[in-house]
Structure 1
């Protein structure tokens, strides 16, 4: 899901496509090495004179081969292929890294979710115990120090639950940012 959403992956795919097209273009560019030309000189003029420096009248054909470009072309094609492979490997490395990031954030989310459930149960138990001690304190069965200690325990459990809830929401947001969808929408 993150692979479909994440813009960096799309950029890497486009770079790979661009490198692939450069390989094709470099292979076709072998035709740029040869230059074919022709000249036409009407036959009714004198072949050699002051105003006509040409030796031959009629059609003249010429073929030029750019030797420097001819020698460079194989290395340019090889370089284009290497760039294409590099872009493929960059995309693959990014996909692996993205997958690992999703896993790490998912594990953090699950850990925070389970911690939140544990802290909620601890808070519930602490409240139940505190309510029981309050009732027993009102009857005179327990001392004030025990009752105050139970109230402090409820306060600590409440604070711990709040801290874990913040961690849970942070982990949830981090995971949703990476996958590009709400966790509730993921099946």
Structure 2
């Protein structure tokens, strides 16, 4: 089994997790250019441990962003198992909007190349699959009209994330979106 595919030892996994958590905090506070020495210090490990896990800043940025996407999909799965269908969908969309609004710099800091494109395609697919499952459940329950498409809902959520000035406006626009997907008759929706 290649080294990259083998499960990590418990101590190595703990250090990896500590580094990702520290990087997430520092990148949120100071941006994706936060000093890596500070990330190692905040994680309670040495620089050598940091570079053993993440040879470049780019690798650390990828790990942090991948962890954010995993958190979004996990939240969607939890909501599918619990909350009422429309509430689950719009709770997840709220989290997604916050993600887009606050993680944009992190995503853009991952330098552009072929691997970035592949990663972003995987992340995009995972987020759309989560939204799609939540939307299908809401449509099946009659809480959201049948003509609403996942891609359209995600585009609207992205627009809210990029255009709003803060949580009050985000909440207002998300409420308008929720009303819109409930009140328009299916016959009025263009194909």
TM > 0.5 between the two?
A: no
Q: Name the one with the larger strand percent.
A: 1
TM-score range, shorter chain: under 0.3
Higher relative contact order (CA 8 A, sep 6+): 1
Tell me the TM-score normalised to structure 1 length: 0.23
Which structure is larger by alpha-carbon Rg, 1 or 2? 1
Tell me the TM-score normalised to structure 2 length: 0.23
